[in-house]
């Protein structure tokens, strides 16, 4: 079981953005409004993504797992966005190439090296084309929340 | 038995991807009876290990040159090409 702070307000469907920076700004702002991250999180996240991109090409739709240092995080949470149209993210570990990302999992982690199980479960989803396609085409936040709880074992902590 | 090899596992922030990679290599070492020491760090910290490390496995590739081989670890996250990556790591560690 992984205890996380999240609710439907940090799950977004049909997010209409034209660049990865716009997507990250939007997601970080929502997280800050909820009090899950500090105001400094947004810039730290964008700078980190520029230096160390997190786009991951998979068998199905590409995903990205943007994250940054723990000092910008108040409460451990994960924000999910399904983009209306994919935007290009740099490919992790690749110096020059990008991949069109449709699903973003923004990881706001408050401890180093402590979320192995959660991450491994997430990676299992990245290796499952059927599950990725399900998420990518999802228009209903409730379904995504249910997916996170049932497939990833996320446990809601603090409020609805 | 050969000397213990020091393997650095690095990602950009040292919080997310290196954790997954670290655990995968740990398992691999057990299966193959490898005598290694894993050190999980941020890519920015690699500099302090240039004299002692034998291998760097990372999701945050840089253009910087190191005195030891560097292996891209992205496949541990996506599953694509993971067997090749494992083979690469094993070959380096058996040298």
Q: Domain count of chain A? A: 1
Distance from the Cα of B1 to chain A's closest Cα (Å) equals 30
Query: Secondary structure of A92-135 in the HEC alphabet?
Result: CCCCCCEEEEEEEEEEECCCCCCCHHHHHHHHHHHCCHHHHHHH
Whole-prediction pTM: 0.90
Looking up tokens 């990833």 gives A152
The residue in chain A having the minimum alpha-carbon distance to the alpha carbon of residue B77 is A123
Is A64 a member of any domain? yes
Instruction: Find the mean pLDDT for residues B76-86.
Output: 93
CB pairs under 8 A between A and B: 84
Q: What is the DSSP letter of A86?
A: E
Name the residues of B annotated as catalytic.
11
Residue-wise pLDDT for A26-68, tens only, equals 999 999 999 999 999 999 999 999 999 999 999 889 999 999 9
> C-alpha A31: how far from its chain's center?
11
CATH of the domain at A56: 3.40.930.10
Q: Is A50 near chain B, with CB under 8 Å? A: no
Q: Is the pLDDT of residue B14 over 60?
A: yes
Q: Is the ipTM of this complex over 0.85?
A: no
Instruction: Find the mean pLDDT for residues A13-23.
Output: 97
* Residue spans per domain, chain B: 5-94
Q: Which CATH superfamily is domain B5-94 in?
A: Response regulator (3.40.50.2300)
Is A128 a member of any domain? yes
């Amino acid at each position: 079981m992984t205890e996380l702070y999240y609710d439907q307000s940090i799950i977004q469907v049909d997010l209409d953005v034209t660049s990865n920076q716009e997507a990250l700004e939007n997601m970080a702002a929502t997280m800050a409004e909820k009090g899950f991250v500090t105001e400094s999180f947004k810039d730290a996240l964008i700078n980190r993504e520029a230096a160390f991109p997190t786009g991951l090409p998979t068998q199905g739709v590409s995903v990205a797992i943007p994250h940054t240092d723990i000092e910008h995080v108040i409460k451990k949470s994960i924000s999910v966005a399904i983009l209306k149209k994919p935007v290009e993210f740099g490919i992790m570990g690749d110096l020059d190439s990008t991949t069109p990302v449709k699903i973003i999992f923004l990881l706001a982690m408050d401890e180093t090296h402590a979320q192995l199980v959660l991450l491994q479960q997430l990676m299992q989803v990245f290796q499952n084309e059927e599950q990725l396609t399900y998420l990518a085409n999802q228009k209903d936040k409730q379904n995504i929340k249910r997916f996170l709880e049932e497939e990833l074992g996320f446990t809601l902590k603090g409020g609805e | 038995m050969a000397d213990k090899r020091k393997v650095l596992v690095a990602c950009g922030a040292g919080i997310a991807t290196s954790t997954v990679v670290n655990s995968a290599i740990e398992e691999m070492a057990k299966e193959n009876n490898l005598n290694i020491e894993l050190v999980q760090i941020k890519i920015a910290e690699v500099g302090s290990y240039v004299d002692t490390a034998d291998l760097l496995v990372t999701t945050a590739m840089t253009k910087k040159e190191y005195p030891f081989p560097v292996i891209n670890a992205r496949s541990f996250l996506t599953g694509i090409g993971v067997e090749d990556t494992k083979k690469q790591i094993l070959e380096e560690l058996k040298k």
